[in-house]
Amino acid sequence: MPDIEITCSKCGNVVTVSEFADADGMVCHLCGEPLHKPQLMSLEPRPLTRRLKINWNQPLNTPADETSAPVETNPAPAGAVREEGARPRKIRMSRPVGSWLLFLLLGGFMYYWRYQVGLSDSQIEQVRFFGPIIVLAFQVLISVRAFADSVFQGILCLIVPFYSLYYLLMVCDSYLLRAVVVAVLIGIGQDSAQVIGEQSKKTYAAVMGWIRSGGDSEVDKIVKQPKKPGSKTPVKPK
């Protein structure tokens, strides 16, 4: 279905919505100004006109009979006829179509590079090292975008796991950011998820071990051990 671009009358922000979207309740994400859908042009049918009746038996030099019906002239509706000499309107590619093309090209390249070329072990280790860094950068970009739309959306992106992905796919209206992030995740998403999962398990195990030990570190355990006769007290390192 086609989309409609609405320009905010207050801040000039361009918002793309569906032509079937409800006009009530639409506001600008930047300034909160109510948005109004433009009225679609309706072409009214031209009224029927009576043709001039010509009496072929009458000589051409004589005036036409007064009883003949006059020719009715009706001006064309505004915008129906293009003015002579006016330049044709350029057809530009809409943002959703361009974003889809970018996603197909970049996503296809990332899939071929990661799963069809056959990376070496060193290259896979580099992907596992730089992948989580790129994912973290995407998380920051999505959070900044969410805070620009709404503080509530930004807080959800920071504290709720995987809400950033939901916001990007279902709430955010930036087609370019959505296409780039999803296409790059096709190539590095699996390795990054494995690394993040392994680090999360290690962190969880370390935290649970610290809680079970009562918050004491290994050095504290050595210091708190009962002293044996003739043994020296270990010095706690600084």
**Structural element, H or E, at residue 14:** strand 14-18
Q: Tell me 42's DSSP state.
A: -
13 and 130 assigned to the same domain: no
Within a domain: 87:
no
Q: Which residue has the higher pLDDT, 51 or 9?
A: 9
Within a domain: 1:
yes
24 and 119 assigned to the same domain: no
**Is the pLDDT reported for residue 180 higher than 70?**
yes
Write out pLDDT tens, residues 53-108: 666 666 555 454 544 555 555 555 554 445 455 555 555 546 788 899 999 999 99
108 and 203 assigned to the same domain: yes
112 and 213 assigned to the same domain: yes
The pairing of beta strand 3-7 with beta strand 14-18: antiparallel
99 and 3 assigned to the same domain: no
The upper half-sphere exposure of residue 123, i.e. CA atoms within 13 Å in the direction of its Cβ, equals 9
184 and 109 assigned to the same domain: yes
Within a domain: 64:
no
Residue 79 has what pLDDT?
47
Within a domain: 62:
no
Q: How many domains does the structure of the chain reveal?
A: 2
Within a domain: 99:
yes
Domain assignment of residue 206, given as a range: 95-221
**Is the pLDDT reported for residue 176 higher than 60?**
yes
Write out pLDDT tens, residues 116-144: 988 899 999 999 999 999 999 999 999 99
106 and 211 assigned to the same domain: yes
Within a domain: 198:
yes
109 and 207 assigned to the same domain: yes
Closest of 15, 35, 10, 14 to residue 23, by C-alpha:
35
Q: What are phi and psi of 5, to 5 degrees?
A: -95, 125
Within a domain: 83:
no
27 and 105 assigned to the same domain: no
25 and 106 assigned to the same domain: no
% of the chain surpassing 70 pLDDT = 61
**Mean pLDDT score of the chain:** 76
106 and 216 assigned to the same domain: yes
Lowest mean pLDDT among 28-32, 35-39, 51-55, 98-102: 51-55
